[in-house]
Every structure is written in structure tokens, then in C-alpha cells.
Structure 1
Amino acid sequence: MSLFSLSRQCCRTSIISLAQHRTFSSTAVSLARRQNAPKIRIPSKKALAAKQKRRAAKAALKMGKLEQLSLTEAISVLRSVEVDSPKSVYELYIKTEMGNGVAVPKGRFKLPKEVKAQAEDHVLVFAEGRLAEEAKKAGAHIVGGLELIEGIINNRIRATTYLCTTSLIRAITPRLGRFLGPQGLMPSERRGTVTDDIAGYMGRIQGTSEWRADKQGNIHMPIGTVSFNGDDVVKNFKHFMLSVKKATGNVKDGKNKDGKQATVISKVLLSSTQGPSIRILDY
């Protein structure tokens, strides 16, 4: 072996020996960094089980196994998805099929257990004379006759509910029918908003709220939060569905009591803030 090779081998042996016996020390800075480093959070068994349950529910829905469920089953699935979010909201979606010339469905309701405080109605009444005085005493916000028409068309006068006495309905219809009708706000005898009993109507709507479908017949309504008892969600669901059925005249054969074609409810879905939409079978 040459002198150069021997020298090189000895050098390597020295380096390995030094590496094996080297002691590592930590400076004050590195120690401070270790002490201030965020601690790794280890989830509890309960949290892991809840996460696994949510994943399983989402996977099952994705595979189409839970596309259609009963109301109680749907609530159970959504509750498992929202197990860590008690403030998440159950959202009800109703799809209605409106025929040509059919007014946008709307109605009034008061849930057995309110989800959130409802906005106050702003009521406008077309009335004159004695009936106008009765409307004011009953709490109507705006009361007047034909002079209100121009302000309504120009959007200077707005309300959430429009009532009209029987003596004025024919006078306001030609100008306001096309304006308020598409919005579902035109006074109607069928809906009870054309009446001479203004005080009685005002008394009936007190403490209630109005729902209204959009132009495509879609209805969206929050009916509870995850913190609600399951029975409370079921009661709210059934109560609101009853209001929609009454407003649309919906029955199984698609016709109402007068024999006229009803606005058919074609689809009912229940979802939550983070959960999927589930089609409800029993409504």
C-alpha cells in the first residue's frame, strides 16, 4: 500500500471517530424555540370517533346510498355531520312547479320553536272612510286610497303586506296587478288580503311571519339548529310544510278542493350549514 493511500485511510478513520464521539449542545436561543414551540394537539377518542362518523356519512351520501331518507333519518345524518357545530342551521328547501299564470306561492306561519327573531311586517291598506279609520286603529303602517298607486309603482312607498277593501280592488288592479302580481304582493280574495275586516286580518297575522317563493317556485326556510331537540325540528318541519300545502292547494292528485290545478310540490330537501342536501320522502 502506498503512503498516500495509508494517509487517506487514517484521515477517514479519524473523521468517523470524531463524529461518533461528538457531543451536541443546545444554545439558549434553540432551547427557547423548543419551549415556545406550539404543542401538538392530540384529539380525544370522542373527537376521532365523531370525525370518523362524519366521514362515513359523507362517503355514504356521495355513493348515493342516502339520497332519499325519512325526515328523522335525515336529521340524524345531518346532526352527525354537524356534531361539533351546535349553531349550524337546518335549511329546508321546497321546489314547486308553477303553471302558467299562477301567482308565486306565499303564506304565513309561526314555528312552534322559532329559529331566529322574525322581521316585523310593514302593512299597507287600500281603504277609505270608516274602513280606513279601522285600519289605522288596527295598526296598519300606511292607509290610503288611489293616491298611493303612483308612489308604489315608483318604489317611493313600500310594504311587505298589501291589503285592500272590496270597494277599491277593481280600481287598483289595472295599474298594480302587473307590478305587485309578479312579486306575490297583489291583494287577492283567495289569500284573504281583499277584505273589509281589516282589523280581523291584522289580528290574525300578529306574531306571524310571511314566506314567499321566488319566481322559479323555490322556497327556502331555516327550521331549526343542531342544538334543537330532534322532535322540535320535526314539529317545525311539519308546521311549515302544512302552511306551504295550504297556500299551494297541494294534494296527491295535484288538484285542490275547487277542482283547479294546484301548484305541485315536486321536491323537498333538508340540509345543514356544512352538511349535504338530503331528499325527504315523508312530507
Structure 2
Amino acid sequence: MPSRHDTQCGQTQTKPSGRRLKVAQPTKAQLAAKERKRALKKARKNSAYASEKMTLEDAIAVLRAVEVAAPNSTYELVVKTAMIRGSTIPKGRFSLPREAKETTRDRILVFAEGKQAEEAKQAGADIVGGLELVDGVISGRYQASMFLCTPALIRAITPKLGRVLGPRGLMPSERRGTVTDNITGFIKKLKGTSEWKGDKAGAIRAPIGKLNWPIEDVVKNFRYFMTVVKRATGNQRDPDAPVDKKETGNKPPMAITKVVLSSRQGPGIQISDA
């Protein structure tokens, strides 16, 4: 007697005649439409507050309510800036009043000779040397997250290393203080700080607290980090920074277009009083 067999998914069926009937499969267009519908539903769920601005304390309250099952989650801060073509990606160093995560130690390479080289080693530099290090940096044999240089050697290393370290934002620079005779003082200043850096689109991301912290601690970290970013982008003057008359008035501030606070599972909320 002829048998009939239905597959589990119902895609094929054997008839007494032996012929198989194929169940119509969704077209690529149908699958794409289904995926778009699913993505739109998810986006609506995650962006319930996307077009709404809140005060910092209100945003903290909302995120706490969303993350009630995960009190150890981290508040993530995103500061979006208007990157002008040809402008330098904003970056800097900071030490929050209360650290939101364990700080990572920089691997420091110092271009120095003589007494300054010895002082750099004693201060904790990982790699210290003169012009003999240049080719090793280019080839990748010597790698570091921070490069320092004495004024006596900067002109000698710039022709070869400028095109290698420059695009990565690692080239020693007088403006950033990484070209200095006080190598020891700079290394001591690095300890206990973390680096922040914007991406190519000008977005700056940083963890600024835990959901189970007192609200005052989160607010303090938020205000501190925003001050650091505003000063680095020219939106607020650092009263302790020396005034460079050559740059005054020539360098427009990099506008801050949006400040968003979020958590691991919570929505991104625009902050109105940033």
C-alpha cells in the first residue's frame, strides 16, 4: 500500500503516485520584510525615550527601574560631537571621583637619552631608548599605548614616526604634554588615570557609574566627565591651562550635539541638563 510521509516542517509530501509536492517557501522579499518588521519592533522598544529629553536624575531613575533585576549594571555615557572634516579626534585622560571600573595600566615607551633615560626607567616606563627604537616601533616590535619624548629627540623621530603614530593619535606632541623634559612627572601623573577618546564619528563613550551606587556619586561622576570633555572640545575653558595666543580665536569649539545615558538593557535617554 502506498505510504504518505510528511516532513516535520511540512515542506514535502509524498502522494500515492510517487510525486512530491513542494510547499511554497517564503521569497527573499518576504523574509526581508519580516526581518524589517522584527527590527522595527525591537527599535521601538529600545528607543521609547529616544526623542525625549530628561534631566540627569530622572534618567537615572528610569534606568534603575528598567534594571531592577541587574543592580550591578553600569551606566554608559555617550557624548556625540560635531566632527568637522579635518578636525582632530577628541581625546584626553581622566580620573573619576569614584571609579566605575578598574583602570588599565598604560604601556609606556619613552624616547630619551642619558640621565633622562635613567629617570624614565626609574619612574616605571616599559621601554626606554633613543633613535634605535624608531625602526622597532615602525615594524611593530615595540608596542605601547603611550609614547613620550624629550624635546632633544622629537625632531629626529618625527620624519619617520609622524606617519605611523600620527593617525593613531600616539605621536608625542608638545600640545598634549607628551614632549617634555619632565618625563618622571608626566609618568606619575598618568598613574591612576584612564584615557578617553572619540571615534571617527566624534562619539565619546565612557562608563560613569553603577546602578547600585548612591545617585549623588553618579551625578558627581557625570558632571566631572562632562567638564573634562567640554574643556577638551573647546566648549569650556580650563582655568589652569596656559593661554596660547596663536590658537586663540582660530580654533572653533567642537559642538556637543547630544548627551545620552543608558545601561546594559535600558534605553538610551538624552540628558537635558548636560
Please point out which of 259, 266, 271 is paired with 1:275. Answer: 266
Secondary structure of residue in 2 paired with 1:220: strand
Once the two structures are TM-superposed, the CA of residue 63 in structure 1 deviates from its matched residue by 7.1
- Cα separation, 1, equivalents of 2:137 and 2:67: 44
Alignment TM-score, normalising by the size of structure 1: 0.72
Letter in 2 for 1:128: E
Please point out which of 137, 144, 151 is paired with 1:152. Answer: 137
C-alpha contact (below 8 Å) 2:47/2:268 kept by paired residues:
no
- In the other structure, the counterpart of 1:262 is 253
C-alpha contact (below 8 Å) 2:111/2:148 kept by paired residues:
yes
After superposition, where does 1:7-26 map in structure 2 within 5 Å?
Answer: none
C-alpha contact (below 8 Å) 1:61/1:67 kept by paired residues:
no
Please point out which of 193, 197, 211 is paired with 2:196. Answer: 211
Secondary structure of residue in 2 paired with 1:282: coil
Aligned-pair identity in percent equals 56
After superposition, where does 1:80-95 map in structure 2 within 5 Å?
Answer: 80-95=65-80
- Give per-residue Cα distances to partners, 1:232-260, cap 9 Å, x unaligned: 111111111222222222249xxx98222
- Cα separation, 1, equivalents of 2:157 and 2:134: 7
Unmatched runs of 5 consecutive residues or more in structure 2: 1-43, 238-243
Alignment TM-score, normalising by the size of structure 2: 0.75
C-alpha contact (below 8 Å) 2:151/2:179 kept by paired residues:
yes
Q: Which has the larger radius of gyration?
A: 1
Secondary structure of residue in 1 paired with 2:116: helix
Unmatched runs of 5 consecutive residues or more in structure 1: 1-57
- Cα separation, 2, equivalents of 1:164 and 1:80: 49
Secondary structure of residue in 1 paired with 2:151: coil
Please point out which of 172, 180, 189 is paired with 2:157. Answer: 172
- Cα separation, 2, equivalents of 1:160 and 1:205: 12
C-alpha contact (below 8 Å) 2:91/2:195 kept by paired residues:
yes
Secondary structure of residue in 2 paired with 1:74: helix
Q: Say if 1:84 and 1:134 are closer, same or farther in 2 by CA, change over 3 A.
A: same
Letter in 1 for 2:230: K
- Cα separation, 2, equivalents of 1:226 and 1:197: 40
C-alpha contact (below 8 Å) 2:77/2:259 kept by paired residues:
yes
After superposition, where does 1:1-283 map in structure 2 within 5 Å?
Answer: 62=48, 67-251=52-236, 258-259=248-249, 260-283=251-274
C-alpha contact (below 8 Å) 1:182/1:215 kept by paired residues:
no
C-alpha contact (below 8 Å) 1:268/1:280 kept by paired residues:
yes
Once the two structures are TM-superposed, the CA of residue 185 in structure 1 deviates from its matched residue by 1.1
Once the two structures are TM-superposed, the CA of residue 140 in structure 1 deviates from its matched residue by 0.9
Letter in 1 for 2:86: G
Secondary structure of residue in 2 paired with 1:242: helix
C-alpha contact (below 8 Å) 2:49/2:268 kept by paired residues:
no
Deviates more, 1:224-233 or 1:238-247: 238-247
Once the two structures are TM-superposed, the CA of residue 115 in structure 1 deviates from its matched residue by 1.6
C-alpha contact (below 8 Å) 2:49/2:267 kept by paired residues:
no
Once the two structures are TM-superposed, the CA of residue 220 in structure 1 deviates from its matched residue by 1.2
C-alpha contact (below 8 Å) 1:250/1:264 kept by paired residues:
yes
Letter in 2 for 1:62: A
Secondary structure of residue in 2 paired with 1:168: helix
C-alpha contact (below 8 Å) 1:82/1:88 kept by paired residues:
yes
C-alpha contact (below 8 Å) 1:107/1:212 kept by paired residues:
yes
- Give per-residue Cα distances to partners, 1:150-208, cap 9 Å, x unaligned: 11122221111111111111222222222212211111111111111111111211211
- Cα separation, 2, equivalents of 1:83 and 1:204: 38
Letter in 2 for 1:258: T
- Cα separation, 2, equivalents of 1:197 and 1:115: 30
Once the two structures are TM-superposed, the CA of residue 104 in structure 1 deviates from its matched residue by 2.0
Secondary structure of residue in 1 paired with 2:152: coil
Structure 1 outlier segments of 4+, above 4 Å: 58-61
